[in-house]
Amino acid sequence: MSPQPLGNLRRLPCAYPTLLFPRGRHLPPSPYCFLLVYLFAYYPESNRGRKPWRLLICRAMSVAVLCNLSDGLIIAVTVFDATGIRKVFAEGEKLFQLNEKIGVATYGLGGLEGRSIGSFVHEFELSHKGIGDLPLREVVEQLRAFFMEVYIRYAERICGVPFAEIPQDQKGTLGLIVGGFSPNQFLSEAWEIQIPVNNEAYSARQVCAPGTSIVAWFATYAPIERYLNGFDSGLLGETSSFIEQLLGRAMTQQEIDRYQLIRDKYSYRIFLDSMPIETGIEYVRFLVELVIQHYRFTSAHPVVGGRAKPGVVTYRERNFRLME
């Protein structure tokens, strides 16, 4: 599955930097975030000359929401996981504390090499001493390199071919959201790693710099877009294509700017400046539960379920604390 262009309307700037495309150009233009997930299976040597990889195309059964405030950072996920093809685990762990002051949330692939992502996060912490003394950017880079190595090793083993020969559209995504404080800093920041997209050094995306107040969401987030903006990126893309078909040409920048004024008039504004951390926790929990309840009532087989699990780190505590 490869991304398709959404047209000019998709290029509209947003009131929130991650409102329409928080994961950049790598998202399929759909109200759902489809992920390609490798089957956890053993492929005999006799099959390896015949494209032995198989894929499971499934809906991401999770959502993650991040909120960065002046007092600290909150990340919330759903406690609901589908790490394999035959079983959905209602208590899958996707939010972790790393070196006390850093929080890590995951989405996409639920495991590698038959192990949970959480076990790899723990291995990383044990094998990378002194990360607590590094700026968060350097911790993110070491985490990216660590998971990229694991991912390549796993993919080559189950496919039986060099990693470069595996088609790009047949590589599942592992997302990691990393947030917290750098040493001797009083403002928090957050980064996003996409494996294997971020295969080059320092290619992780900074979601928010220190001092930036922001709410961002990842994985299956269409209900949040619809609630805050009145539409999601899927509708935006189809509307863009429809308008351009009527016009018989691409929209000009002036036309895009005029449409933005209309769109912004109907978007909700959430004031994050000086928002207390406890209010931020309630807001993030609300957004995650909004997605959970949406799919509870609209899907025969909910693609997001379970319950919201937040974690928080503040300039006072300096430890990432998991909450219920």
Closest listed residue to residue 230, CA positions, set 222, 219, 238? 222
Burial class (CB in 10 A: 0-12, 13-18, 19+), 190: buried
Local confidence pLDDT in tens for the 324 residues of the chain: 333 333 333 333 333 333 223 333 333 333 333 332 333 333 333 333 434 444 323 344 589 999 999 999 999 998 764 444 344 444 458 999 998 889 999 998 888 998 999 999 999 999 998 898 999 999 999 999 999 999 999 999 988 899 999 988 888 899 999 999 999 999 999 999 999 999 999 999 999 999 999 999 999 899 999 999 998 888 988 998 999 999 999 999 999 999 889 988 999 999 999 899 999 999 999 999 999 999 889 876 767 777 889 999 999 887 899 887
Q: What is the spatial distance between Cα 179 and Cα 242, in angstroms, rounded to a whole number? A: 39
- Residue 64 pairs with which residues in a beta bridge? 77, 218
Whose tokens are 């390199």? That residue is: 145
SS3 322: strand
Closest listed residue to residue 155, CA positions, set 82, 54, 27? 54
- Residue 106 pairs with which residues in a beta bridge? 176
Is the whole-model pTM more than 0.75? yes
Q: Which domains does the chain have, with CATH numbers?
A: 33-221+300-318 (3.60.20)
pLDDT, tens digit (0-9, with 9 covering 90-100), for 97-141: 998 889 999 998 888 998 999 999 999 999 998 898 999 999 999
